[in-house]
Amino acid sequence: MSQLFPFRALRPAPEAAAAVASVPYDVVSTAEARALAAGNPLSFLHVTRAEIDLPDTTNPYDEAVYAQAVRNFEELKRAAPMVIDDEPSLYLYRLRMGAHVQIGVAGCFSLDEYDRNLIKKHEQTRKDKEDDRTKHMLELRAQTGIVFLTYHASTAVDAVTRRVTAAAPLYDSPAPDGVQHTVWQVRDDDVAALVRAFGDLPALYIADGHHRAASAARARDHLVVRGGGHGEASRFIAVAFPDREVQILAYNRVIRDLGGRAPDVFLAAVGERVRVAPGGPVPARRGEVSMYVGGRWHTLTLPAPPAGTARAETLDVEVLHRTVFEPVLGIGDVRTDKRIDFVGGIRGAGGLEALVDSGKAAVAFSMSPVSIADLVAISDEGGIMPPKSTWFEPKLRDGLLVHLI
C-alpha cells in the first residue's frame, strides 16, 4: 500500500509560471544560480538559493541566507502572485524533452512510510546537505523542492492520466533548456481514483531527491518536539512517474590529476588492471567505460564481478572504483576526495573533453547509464548505490508546486 494525499498547493498565477519556475536548487552552483536569476526577480532561485541576493563572499549556509530566503519568499508570494488552491488537489506533471515524454502524479506522500522503508531508498545522504534543507523548510514552513519517485506502472493510474490530460492544463510552457513543463489539476472523482490506485501499489522508490525526503523527515521530527509535526508536516511533496517512462542518463567522472604521472605512464598503469584499447567517447555496452586522457579516447573493459555479487557492487561505477580509482589513483571515499568530480550525462562527451583539454581535469570517464531495473532491484535488496550513480533527465522545476507545512 502506498498512501497518496491531495494538498492545497502554493503555486504561481498562470501568467507568472514561466518566470517563477527554476532549476532544482542542487543542480547549480551559487554562481550559476545568480546568472540564471539575473534580471528575473520572480525566479524561484531567489527562494531556494537566496545567497544570490547577498554579497559574493556570503557562505551559503550562513544564517543570513535563510533570513533572506524568508524575505524573498514573502515578496514572491505578493509579486508573482502565488496563489493557494481552495481545496486539496492532486496534479499531473508532464515533462517533454524532444521525443521523450513522462507524466507523473504530483501530491504528498507519507513520511511514516518513508521511515518504514515502504518508500524505498538507494542512496546515502550527507548531513551537511540535510542540515541545509531542513533549516530551509523550517524557516519557510514550506517544502520548496520536489522529490522524484517512481513506481511499477499501473493501468489504473494510466486510465486517470488519459482522462485528465485530455483537458486544458494549468501551465504549459517551455523552460530555457527546451524542456516543456505541463501541469494539470486533478479534481473530484479522479482524485479518489488516483488515491485508490496508489493504495494498490506495493512500493514507491525514490529516484532523485533523497536529501529532500530526509530533510522533510527531520523537519517533521523538529516540529513534533514543538507540538506541530502532524498533518501537513508528516508528508512530503513528490511527483511519482511510472518506471517505464523514467529516463536515466550516465553520471560521468573526472579526476583533477593523474597522481603525478604523465598521461602515457598513467595509461600503462591502467592497462595493468583492465584491458585498454582505442575507442570512442560513449561506451558501447555495460562493462565498458570510455576514458579520455592525453587528447584521446580509450575503451576500458572492466572485469566481470563474480557470481553472487550484490547488485550494487556490479554497477560499472563501483567496478571502476575498485579496479582503477583505488589502486591506480589512490581515491578512497568519493564523497570526500576533492580530486574527483561528477558530470551529468546531459553535458555529453564534449563537456568531458572540454574539462580535460582546458586543464580543469586530467582524465575523464564516460559511463553507461544505470538502468531503472538496477535501481529498483538494489532498492528492493536494501542496497546502496555508489554516490552519483544516476542522472535523471529531464528534471522537474522548482516553484510550480510548493507544499506548505
pLDDT of residue 225: 83
Least confident of 14-23, 148-157, 223-232, 271-280: 223-232
| pLDDT digit string, tens, across residues 188-199 | 999 999 999 999
Q: How far apart are CA 23 and CA 29, in angstroms?
A: 11
363 close to 255: Cβ distance less than 8 angstroms: yes
Share of the chain above pLDDT 70, in %: 100
pLDDT of residue 188: 93
Whether 8 has a pLDDT exceeding 70, the answer reads yes
What 3-state DSSP class applies to 254?
strand
pLDDT of residue 236: 98
| pLDDT digit string, tens, across residues 41-87 | 999 999 999 999 999 999 999 999 999 999 999 999 999 999 999 99
Record the cell numbers describing residue 233, joined without a space.
508536516
Whether 252 has a pLDDT exceeding 90, the answer reads yes
| pLDDT digit string, tens, across residues 131-189 | 999 999 999 999 999 999 999 999 999 999 999 999 999 999 999 999 999 999 999 99
Helix axes 155-164, 188-199, angle to 10 degrees: 160
72 close to 53: Cβ distance less than 8 angstroms: yes
When pLDDT is averaged across residues 259-272 and rounded to a whole number, the result is 96
Q: How far apart are CA 20 and CA 116, in angstroms?
A: 35
The residue type of 296 is R
Whether 320 has a pLDDT exceeding 70, the answer reads yes
Strands 171-174 and 147-151: unpaired
Record the cell numbers describing residue 301, joined without a space.
573493459
| C-alpha distances in Å from residue 175, one per residue of 21, 36, 198, 326 | 8, 12, 30, 40
pLDDT of residue 266: 98
pLDDT of residue 360: 97
pLDDT band of residue 335 (cuts 50, 70, 90) is confident
pLDDT of residue 1: 80
pLDDT band of residue 304 (cuts 50, 70, 90) is very high
When pLDDT is averaged across residues 214-236 and rounded to a whole number, the result is 90
Beta bridge partners of 100: 97
The DSSP line for 308-337 is T--GGGGSHHHHHIIIIITTTT----TTT-
pTM, to two decimals: 0.93
Record the cell numbers describing residue 94, joined without a space.
508532464
Record the cell numbers describing residue 44, joined without a space.
524561484
| pLDDT digit string, tens, across residues 100-111 | 999 999 999 999
| pLDDT digit string, tens, across residues 361-372 | 999 999 999 999
pLDDT of residue 229: 66
CA dihedral 246, 187, 174, 207 (to 10 degrees): -20
